[in-house]
């Protein structure tokens, strides 16, 4: 069974809102084995919405419309669906009462505009669970179906999980389950990862279950996604676990985490296990690491603190870093030691490179400094890309260098 997603709203086309709803829906369709081969965005225009729905119905068994169910003049999804169905809109008194009660519970009177939300295409059914004023809709068209859900994410999630996904499963008769696990890596380029996994990918191409895919995600690392399909959750999980063991054997310590784990959450966990604290001074990364570490360790159990000394005077006064050492190996070494001493932490980290020098290219040498009770070490990396990517890559590279030191010990 094929199900297509049509996201409705001019704000999506203008880039004012990022369409995370379509991604969420696509992921959850995959989890129940429903193929979703197309996703479309269309503005708040009646003719174009109708055209998008008709096109979708030509190539899919089901269509999920997301957005355009509010009370204002540009919320015209109901009217477009009614035209595609060839029916009129009818006022549903039950929905009217639900919306009225919502306003009364807040001590307010329902505006007349909200009556538009209670008008649904003849032959359609409103989704029972209605968390907001916009009712979701199930609109059958022969053997096909159009679903309509609000653009508000939590309202959409509830309607999808309570009504639409179960209805799709019932209509499709499928019991297939599709799940994925993402392994996050750092240290290899995307092309090198592909080389290391090339033989395995060729073997999987013959079986087509599971599959491997790559995704470069900046500061989140290079991701390897394992996707498997099966009739039960346990069989899918077993397939993923077996494949994960093979991939880990091929990629080794370049894998730092999986799924929701980040480099900073992994490093903090490792340090907690060893009862160690750390601190950082960021010249190149300009506070990115401190922000991300603080988010994962809000009470400072591991992360003692960070410094972002932007001016030369501040660097000299607080850390004793001479101006001519900025962007050098010696500078990174001195910064790491001074940071450790300043915070009294077990480990001090620092980033500095050519990017910190006026007039230098954004693509150049970066020095990653680590200081602990055994002394100071500096790692040199060359980080490509614009300045923002250099900043992000310096953070994940520095934390990865610390991670590798910890697990070696």
- What DSSP line would sit under 181-223, residue for residue? EEEEE-SS-HHHHHHHHHHHHHHHHHH-SSEEEEEE-GGG-EE
59-68, 275-284, 380-389: the lowest-pLDDT one:
380-389
Q: Packing angle between helix 165-172 and helix 20-31, nearest 10 degrees?
A: 40
Residue 363: predicted pLDDT = 59
Segment 264-282 shows an average pLDDT of 96
Question: For the segment 136-188, what is each residue's pLDDT rounded down to a tens digit?
Answer: 999 999 999 999 999 999 999 999 999 999 999 899 886 677 788 999 999 99
96-110, 347-361, 394-408: the lowest-pLDDT one:
347-361
Question: For the segment 190-215, what is each residue's pLDDT rounded down to a tens digit?
Answer: 889 889 999 999 898 888 889 888 88
Question: Which residues, listed in sequence order, are joined to residue 375 by a DSSP beta bridge?
Answer: 372
Q: 311: which 2 tokens?
A: 């001016």
User: What Cα–Cα distance (Å) separates residue 305 from each residue in 287, 291, 314, 336, 376?
Assistant: 11, 10, 17, 13, 19
Segment 80-96 shows an average pLDDT of 94
CA angle 97, 99, 103 (to 5 degrees): 115
Helix, strand, coil % (nearest 5) of the chain?
Answer: 45, 25, 30
Residue 213: predicted pLDDT = 86
Q: Which residue has the higher pLDDT, 269 or 205?
A: 269
Residue 173: predicted pLDDT = 80
23-27, 83-87, 238-242: the lowest-pLDDT one:
23-27
Mean of all residue pLDDT scores within the chain: 90
Residue 49: predicted pLDDT = 97
Angstrom distance (rounded) from CA 371 to CA 105: 59
Angstrom distance (rounded) from CA 378 to CA 65: 54
Q: Is 218 left (phi over 0), alpha (psi -120 to 50) or beta?
A: left
Q: 98-102 long-range contacts, Cβ below 8 Å, gap at least 24?
A: 98/130, 98/135, 99/133, 102/132, 102/133
Residue 299: predicted pLDDT = 92
- pLDDT bracket for residue 361 (50, 70, 90): low
Residue 333: predicted pLDDT = 93
Domains of the chain, each with CATH number or no CATH: 3-172 (3.40.980.10), 177-258 (3.30.70.2860), 263-408 (3.90.950.20)
Residue 362: predicted pLDDT = 55
The β-bridge relationship of strands 278-282 and 303-307 is parallel
* Residues contacting 51, CB < 8 A, separation 6+: none
Sheet holding 211-216, edge to edge: 211-216, 222-230, 177-185, 255-258
Question: For the segment 297-309, what is each residue's pLDDT rounded down to a tens digit?
Answer: 999 999 999 999 8
Q: Which residue has the higher pLDDT, 386 or 227?
A: 227
Angstrom distance (rounded) from CA 14 to CA 47: 19
Q: Among positive and negative, which fits the CA dihedral 307, 313, 318, 320?
A: positive
Query: Does position 357 have pLDDT exceeding 80, yes or no?
Result: no
Residue 375: predicted pLDDT = 93
Contact 141, 60 (CB under 8 A): no
Segment 111-127 shows an average pLDDT of 89
Angstrom distance (rounded) from CA 384 to CA 361: 10
Residue 387: predicted pLDDT = 79
Angstrom distance (rounded) from CA 216 to CA 194: 12
Predicted TM-score of the model (pTM): 0.71
């Amino acid at each position: 069974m094929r199900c297509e997603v049509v996201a409705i709203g001019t704000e999506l086309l203008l880039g004012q809102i990022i369409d995370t709803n379509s991604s969420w829906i696509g992921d959850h369709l995959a989890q129940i084995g429903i193929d979703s081969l197309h996703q479309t965005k269309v503005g708040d225009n009646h003719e174009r919405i109708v055209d998008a729905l008709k096109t979708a119905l030509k190539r899919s068994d089901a269509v999920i419309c997301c957005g355009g169910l509010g009370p204002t003049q540009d919320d015209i999804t109901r009217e477009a669906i009614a035209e595609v169905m060839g029916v009129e809109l009818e006022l549903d008194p039950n929905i009217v009462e639900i919306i009225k009660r919502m306003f009364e519970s807040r001590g307010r009177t329902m505006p007349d505009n909200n009556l538009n939300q209670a008008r649904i295409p003849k032959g359609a059914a409103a989704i029972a669970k209605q968390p907001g004023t916009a009712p979701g809709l199930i609109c059958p068209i022969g053997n096909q179906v159009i679903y309509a859900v609000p653009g508000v994410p939590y309202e959409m999630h509830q309607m999808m999980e309570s009504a639409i996904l179960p209805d799709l499963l019932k209509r499709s008769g499928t019991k297939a389950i599709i799940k994925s696990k993402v392994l996050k890596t750092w240290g290899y380029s995307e092309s090198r990862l592909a080389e290391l996994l090339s033989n395995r990918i060729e073997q999987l191409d013959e079986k087509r279950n599971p599959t491997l895919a790559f995704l470069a995600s900046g500061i989140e690392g290079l991701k390897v996604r394992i996707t498997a399909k099966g009739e039960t959750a346990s069989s899918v999980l077993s397939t993923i676990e077996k494949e994960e063991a093979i991939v880990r054997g091929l990629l080794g310590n370049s894998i730092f985490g999986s799924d929701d784990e980040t480099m900073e959450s992994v490093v903090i966990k490792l340090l907690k296990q060893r009862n160690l604290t750390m601190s950082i001074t960021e010249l190149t990364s300009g506070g990115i690491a401190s922000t991300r570490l603080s988010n994962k360790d809000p009470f400072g159990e591991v992360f003692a603190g960070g410094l972002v000394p932007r001016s030369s005077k501040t660097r000299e006064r607080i850390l004793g870093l001479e101006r001519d050492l900025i962007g050098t190996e010696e500078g990174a070494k001195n910064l790491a030691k001074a940071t450790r001493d300043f915070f009294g932490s077990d480990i001090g980290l620092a980033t500095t490179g050519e990017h910190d020098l006026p007039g230098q290219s954004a693509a150049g040498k970066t020095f990653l400094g680590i200081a602990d009770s055994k002394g100071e070490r500096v790692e040199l990396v060359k980080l490509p890309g614009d300045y923002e990517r250099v900043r992000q890559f310096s953070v994940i590279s520095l934390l990865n260098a610390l991670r590798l030191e910890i697990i070696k010990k």
